[in-house]
Every structure is written in structure tokens, then in C-alpha cells.
Chain A
Amino acid sequence: MTNILVEWVIKTVVILLILVTAVAYLTFLERKVMGWIQLRVGPNRVGPWGLLQPLADGLKMIFKEDIIPSQSNQWLYILAPALSLVPALMTFIVIPYGSEITLFGRTIELHVTRMNVGLLYIFALTSVGVYGIVLAGWSSNNKYSLMGGLRSSAQMISYELALGLSIVSVLLYSGSLDLVEIVNKQSGWLGHTGWNVFRFPLMFVFIIFYIASLAETNRTPFDLPEADSELVAGYHTEYSSMKFVMFQMAEYLNLITSSSIATALFLGGWNGPFVGRLPILGPVYFATKALVLIFTAMWIRYTVPRFRYDQLMRFGWTTMLPVAIINIIITATVIVLFP
């Protein structure tokens, strides 16, 4: 008999703190990676190797003037950043980052909560995130913002289809929407042979999923909503100070979440060599895999040029969507023939 409520509160707070720190250091990592790829050093002035840069940035942004444009729709303008930040923070509680460890004589499961509709919960929340962007674009009363918001909503709903259909193939294998169960199904010999990405049709599904999740999080080949060469800064053109930070945080949180889901669905989650004997390795493996995916997203950002808008929509509807549908058919056939 343990007081589970206290445990939940502690876990939730810890997860929130980890997420906020991770977001701060992802902005740092992004600039460092950009520096290395462009043969520069990147930020290295604040603290050792520039490690205190996120703190300095945060302090600077707090003391920036908070502008609410005179022609904007004030309440929606203030509400919009919160609407995109809150769902982004909420998604992470169902993602499992380890099996269970024993701490001070108590077994602690390394996930905040577990639901049988975990994956649907995540998808529901990521869809809510679109509202923040659309409202930000509309309420700013700025032409760039409005175009950015509209483009973003059209892009996100288009790629959400490919994303939603690509997880159907995974569900065919795992038979559950519960993320803990999905990860448990992927434990194989030495902890890596059972990963979904090594199964026949699912390796192609992984590629579809990853591309669609890049589009969902507005990462570079798909960063049309904030195409700076045509739309200044897209939907957050008018935002300054901490409201701008909230949009940035939401964006990086979505990147973390989508990488974590890809890890849990395809790369075996916390599974890895010797994780059965040493459960503390679970979070390490999980973080490593997620970081590799995040780094790949950054790498793509500085390698691939941006799509044109009509190319983007055509790619989403006439390449990603049919391929996702065909993938489901192939997966179902394979499962029915070789159960």
C-alpha cells in the first residue's frame, strides 16, 4: 500500500522540470549543431563551452518589452501561446522511458501514467496544438501571421493523416494503444532484435512516420509556416518577449515528443542490451535513441532546402498518404499470412 497520489505529483513535477531543461538545452544544441555544420564554433562565450547560454537567453527574453499590437484581438493574442504550450507539455506523461527500478526499497515504474488509449491521447493533444498557431496567426492582425497560421493548419492536418495511418501498421503488430505494452512487445534477444524497425513492412512505415512527424513539428523541409524569406516569422511575427519563448518552447517540446513516440513505437523504447538485468539503463537507452532522432532532425534542417508550398501539399497528399495506405494493406496481409 503506497500513496500513489504523492508519487504521481512527484513524477509529474520531475517530468515537467526535465522537459523544461531539455527544451532549454535543445535550443543550445540546435545552435551548436548549426555552428558545426557551417564550420563555425557556435555559442561559446557564456560559461564553459557556452553551456550557460540558455540561461542568459531566458533572462534576456524575460526583460524584453512585451508588445501587444494595437489592432490585434487582445485576449486571443494572449491566449494563443498558452494554447500551444499547454498541450505540448501535457503529452509526455504517457510516454514510458524505462521499465521499473527499485529506489529506497520501493519499485517505481518509469512512466507517469499508463492508459489503454495512450497513443490516442497523444494524437488528440497534438491536434489541439494547431489551435494555438491558427489563433496566433489570426489574432495578430498581420498579413504574414495570418498566412503563416493558415499554411500551418493546412500543412498539419495534411500530414496528420499520414502520421495517423502510419501508426495503424504498428498497432497491427502490437495489438494495443498502450505505449508500455507496445514497448514490451519489442523486447527481443539482447534487447534489440525485437524492435519494430527491424520488421519487414514497419521499416518503411518508420520513414513515413519520421517525415510526417517532421512536418507536424514544422521542422525544416516543411517549415513553411515560418518561412523567413517570405513570411518574416510566420505566425509569431508579432510576438515578443516570453510569448515568443512560449512558441519556441512548444515547438521544441513537440520535437521531443515526436522523437520519443518514434523511439517507443519503432526503436524499441527503453529496450537495449542488458536492460533486463540493469533496469537503470532503460532511461539511458531511451534518451540516447530520442537524442539521435532529434539530432537527425537538426541535421536535416541544415542540409535540405525548404519545399515550395504546392510541392509540400502535393507531397503530403499524393505521396505520403497513398504510401501509408498501401503500407497498412501490406502489413495486414503479412500478419494474416504469417501470424
Chain B
Amino acid sequence: MPSLESIEISRLWTLASIDRANLRTSWIMVNYVPVLLILILAIGMATVILVLSRFAARNRPTREKLLPYECGVEPVGTSRERQSVRFYLVAMAFLLFDIEAVFLIPWAVVFRGVLESETYRNLKWVFYGEMMVFMVVLFVGLVYVWRKGILEWNR
């Protein structure tokens, strides 16, 4: 009986010579190998560019050159100051509405299938209505955020 490791290794070999017909099923994990490939290539490219810019040009730093740019005068104060709370509020509102989008996408993907399937077709109004209730709740939420003035930047 072959050991577990040898099975894994033989699987790797089949991955290298995989049948093209298998790839038409887009849900198998092998299709993510190019993501790894392009990740390696992109990181390599970024590294080459960064190293190149470090060594190709001559480097003559002076104190003035390395100061933060502030239109030519000496920088005033620090830039690590406190920032407007509006940015924070917008980020919170974004999180809420983005979670909504996460809920909507799976629903949208299976919607066609529900309409076309024999078994679930008579449930289509339930399937439709539940999401509409959710959307209305969400819309009310948006109006609330709006009325509370989170989206008004000049107040």
C-alpha cells in the first residue's frame, strides 16, 4: 500500500500533466495555480523595479532634499496630526453597506437557477420578497445615516 506522501506526490505530477477537459469545470482548485504564478511574477517585477531605481541613479542626498515637500519652505509642525472624524464615520457606514453587498451577491447568483428549476419555481416570490424586504430595511438605514448628517461634509 502506498504511503500518504507518495499519493500526494503523484497528485502533484498529475497536476502538471492535467487533462484539458477537466479544466472546463471552472470550480476546481487547480485553476488557482495561475494566481500563484502571477503573484510571483508581479512581486518579482516590483522588486526589480525598486532595486533598479535604487542603484541605477546617482544618489546625492542633502538635508534640504530629504525634507518633506512643503512648497519650498521649511515644513511647519508635524503631519501626524489628528484627522477629521468624518473619515472614520464614512468607513463605518461603508462596512455596514459592504456586508449588505456580500449578502446580495450569492442571492443574485442563484436567482436564475431558482426561476429555472422545476422544484423551486413556485417559491420564486418568497425568494424575491425576502430580499426585497432586506433591501427596504437597508434603504431605510441609508436614509437614517443621511438624515443624521454623516454624509454632509460641510457642516
Decide: A143 and B70 in contact? CB cutoff 8 A. Answer: yes
Residue of B with least CB distance to A119 = B105
The distance in angstroms between the C-alpha atoms of A106 and B93, with both chains bound, is 51
Decide: B52 and A313 in contact? CB cutoff 8 A. Answer: no
Contact for A321 among B37, B63, B70, B97, CB less than 8 A: B97
Residue of B with least CB distance to A2 = B20
- Chain A residues positioned under 8 Å from B75 (CB to CB): 142
Say if the beta carbon of A304 comes within 8 Å of chain B: no
| Known contacts A82-B47, A322-B139; A65 and B128 CB within 8 A of each other | no
Say if the beta carbon of A115 comes within 8 Å of chain B: yes
Decide: B153 and A310 in contact? CB cutoff 8 A. Answer: yes
| Known contacts A141-B80, A332-B132; A8 and B57 CB within 8 A of each other | no
| Known contacts A171-B105, A313-B153; A62 and B69 CB within 8 A of each other | no
- Chain B residues positioned under 8 Å from A272 (CB to CB): none
The distance in angstroms between the C-alpha atoms of A204 and B105, with both chains bound, is 19
- Chain B residues positioned under 8 Å from A237 (CB to CB): 69
Decide: A161 and B151 in contact? CB cutoff 8 A. Answer: no
Decide: A313 and B90 in contact? CB cutoff 8 A. Answer: yes
- Chain A residues positioned under 8 Å from B32 (CB to CB): 113, 115
The distance in angstroms between the C-alpha atoms of A233 and B128, with both chains bound, is 47
- Chain A residues positioned under 8 Å from B18 (CB to CB): 4
Contact for A89 among B38, B80, B138, CB less than 8 A: B38
- Chain B residues positioned under 8 Å from A72 (CB to CB): 68
Decide: B69 and A175 in contact? CB cutoff 8 A. Answer: no
- Chain A residues positioned under 8 Å from B71 (CB to CB): 232
Say if the beta carbon of B53 comes within 8 Å of chain A: yes
Say if the beta carbon of B49 comes within 8 Å of chain A: yes
Q: Please, what's the 1-or-0 string for B47-89, where 1 marks a CB less than 8 Å from any CB in chain A?
A: 1011011101111110101111111000100111001001100
Give how many A-B residue pairs fall within 8 Å (CB-CB): 236
Decide: B49 and A318 in contact? CB cutoff 8 A. Answer: no
Contact for A93 among B26, B38, B131, B139, CB less than 8 A: B38
Say if the beta carbon of B19 comes within 8 Å of chain A: yes
Task: Say what secondary structure dominates the interface of chain B.
Answer: helix
Decide: A86 and B151 in contact? CB cutoff 8 A. Answer: no
Say if the beta carbon of A278 comes within 8 Å of chain B: no
The distance in angstroms between the C-alpha atoms of A62 and B125, with both chains bound, is 61
Say if the beta carbon of A66 comes within 8 Å of chain B: yes
The distance in angstroms between the C-alpha atoms of A160 and B116, with both chains bound, is 31
Determine how close the nearest CB of chain B comes to the CB of A304; give it in whole angstroms: 20
Decide: A165 and B101 in contact? CB cutoff 8 A. Answer: yes
Say if the beta carbon of A101 comes within 8 Å of chain B: no
Determine how close the nearest CB of chain A comes to the CB of B32; give it in whole angstroms: 7
The distance in angstroms between the C-alpha atoms of A241 and B79, with both chains bound, is 23
Decide: B69 and A142 in contact? CB cutoff 8 A. Answer: yes
Determine how close the nearest CB of chain A comes to the CB of B142; give it in whole angstroms: 7
| Known contacts A8-B33, A161-B97; A85 and B46 CB within 8 A of each other | yes
| Known contacts A5-B33, A93-B38, A177-B109; A310 and B68 CB within 8 A of each other | no
Determine how close the nearest CB of chain A comes to the CB of B36; give it in whole angstroms: 10
- Chain A residues positioned under 8 Å from B39 (CB to CB): 86, 90
**Would you list the 6 A-B pairs with minimal beta carbon distance, nearest first?**
A175-B112, A242-B53, A310-B153, A171-B108, A70-B66, A82-B46
Which residues of chain A have a CB within 8 Å of any CB of chain B?
1-5, 8-9, 11-13, 15-16, 62-72, 78, 81-82, 85-86, 89-90, 93, 107, 112-116, 120-121, 140-146, 150, 153-154, 157-158, 160-161, 164-165, 167-169, 171-178, 180-181, 232, 237-238, 241-243, 245-246, 309-310, 313-314, 317-318, 321-322, 325, 328-329, 332-333, 335-336, 339
Which residues of chain B have a CB within 8 Å of any CB of chain A?
15-20, 23, 26-27, 31-35, 37-39, 41-43, 45-47, 49-50, 52-54, 56-61, 63, 65-71, 75, 78-80, 83, 86-87, 90-91, 93-94, 97-98, 101, 104-105, 108-113, 115-116, 124-125, 128, 131-132, 135, 138-139, 142, 145-146, 151-154
**Can you list 10 A-B contacts with CB-CB less than 8 angstroms, sorted by A residue number?**
A71-B66, A81-B50, A82-B46, A90-B35, A141-B79, A146-B80, A241-B57, A245-B49, A310-B153, A314-B153
